[in-house]
A = this chain, B = another copy of it.
């Protein structure tokens, strides 16, 4: 029998936002309200770990139910995020000092592997110091590269957006292509190709080969220019246009990024190349006569596209938030909620949640499986489609105002500080 721990709950967000990271926040808030015996106040930490160091908390229980519901369809991280990496002992000391001052007994951290690494260290320190604290991680990342979970909340909505965008751009390309048009879409994915691979969901079931995308390039498969040019030419012989989706992190045979690094310039002070998409455009135009190539780069828009939120993804994001609170109340600590696929034969899709130690999450990256990359090196196998199709199912209607989506804005009532200001060094 776990001892009841009573105190305040603190939830914070970290790393790159996703379209459903706020659905997880709403899940945490909703569930926390159900545990009055254990959870007294529900605080949100602003800007991830920075807000904890700086004692910047808001009172989430005072937000309206309408606002909390609207969080489920609001991109960005409503509490603010950060990329600050806690390394110094004084920072960890400060975190526990702040927790004690505000009687924080439940700490829920919504983030990717770096953030869960921080959560693991906070948990270890609390145990070492004998401070009663329950730390549970809530996964998020559009990159889908956490090794311990079937998939990550955020991924389904991001690939739903990428696939919808490819399908729509392909209609345009089909109208103007004359076996001479190459369309390149650069998507995120510095280390792994999960997002680029997701673009193949744009293919209709009965038109797997013909439909866009025709070529998908991932960081897991080193770029071979001749294989690439041959694939483009083969596609243009059969199709009016050739659609290419490329991960920003594509690397060449020597392991270097094909896309220009931030800030790199040519002799004239101009950006040498505008990322890997622009680089491929140049390669196509220089190597295939008479072809017009165009590139687009979704950038931040692919992780903020509320119109493409997947209902399945949104529900799962809320669920990992809820289950994190339940686990903490039940006595768990130092763990992260993961999604486990119950039926792996693809007949029906159902998910349960489980817990894994935070230490297992940190620093382990899950690459796109080599077995799911086609023999031609530029296509994605049906195994992936079977895996990813359930994640994009269902739509989440948005609220509109004046012709544009309307999003949740927190009132953000600040919790009074109790300590002297802290200087983050």
* A393 and B402 in contact, given A264-B292, A277-B274 (Cβ under 8 angstroms): yes
The CA of A262 and the CA of B278, in the complex, are separated in Å by 10
Contact B271–A281 (Cβ < 8 Å): yes
In the complex, what residues of B have CB within 8 A of residue A80's CB?
174-176
Report the Cα distance A303→B175, complex, angstroms.
13
Which residue of B has the minimal Cβ distance to A171?
B76
Q: How large is the interface on A (under 10, 10 to 19, 20 to 34, 35 or more residues)?
A: 35 or more
Q: A169-B301, A262-B285 are in contact. Are A275 and B272 (CB under 8 A)?
A: no
CB neighbours (8 Å) of A76 from chain B are 168, 170-175
Bound together, the chains give a CA A186 to CA B203 distance in angstroms of: 28
Q: Is the CB of B301 within 8 A of A165?
A: yes
Which of A99-107, A306-314, A374-382 sits within the interface? A306-314
Judge if A403 is at the interface, Cβ distance under 8 Å: yes
A295-B297 contact in complex given A176-B16, A393-B402, A404-B163, C-beta closer than 8 Å: yes
Contacts of A78 in B (CB 8 A): 175
**Is A405 positioned at the interface, with any CB of B under 8 Å from its CB?**
yes
Selected from B185, B279, B300, B394, the residue in CB contact (under 8 A) with A403 is: B394
Instruction: Select from chain B the residue with minimum beta-carbon distance to A266.
Output: B292
With CB as the reference atom, state the residue of chain B lying closest to A202: B404
* Cross-chain contact A404 with B172 (CB below 8 angstroms): no
Encode A50-92 as 1/0 by CB contact (under 8 A) with B. Answer: 0000000000000000000000001111111111000000000
CA gap between A77 and B64 in the complex, in Å? 45
A89 to chain B, nearest CB (A): 24
Report the Cα distance A405→B166, complex, angstroms: 11
Query: For A315, what are the chain B residues with a Cβ–Cβ distance below 8 Å?
Result: none
Taking the closest CB of chain B, its distance from the CB of A206, in whole angstroms, is 11
User: With A176-B17, A296-B299 in contact, is A306–B403 under 8 Å at CB?
Assistant: no
Q: Are B265 and A167 in contact (CB under 8 A)?
A: no
Docked pose: A13 CA to B278 CA in angstroms: 30
- Complex Cα distance A298/B77, Å? 23
Residue from A270, A282, A308, A405 with most neighbouring chain B CB atoms (10 Å): A282
A277: chain B residues within 8 A (beta carbon): 274
User: Once the chains bind, are A75 and B275 in contact (CB under 8 Å)?
Assistant: no
Q: Give chain A interface residues in 355-414, CB to chain B under 8 Å.
A: 389, 392-395, 400, 402-405, 407
* Docked pose: A308 CA to B293 CA in angstroms: 25
Contact with A301, one of B279, B296, B402 (Cβ below 8 angstroms): B296
Assess the B407–A167 pair: CB atoms within 8 A: yes
Known: A75-B171, A160-B404. 18 other contacts (CB 8 A): A78-B175, A79-B175, A82-B176, A160-B403, A168-B301, A168-B306, A185-B301, A262-B281, A264-B292, A269-B282, A273-B278, A274-B274, A274-B295, A296-B301, A297-B297, A389-B402, A392-B403, A393-B403
A-B contact pairs, 17 of them (CB 8 A): A16-B172, A77-B176, A82-B176, A160-B404, A164-B404, A169-B300, A262-B281, A262-B285, A262-B293, A263-B282, A265-B282, A294-B299, A296-B297, A296-B301, A297-B299, A298-B298, A392-B402
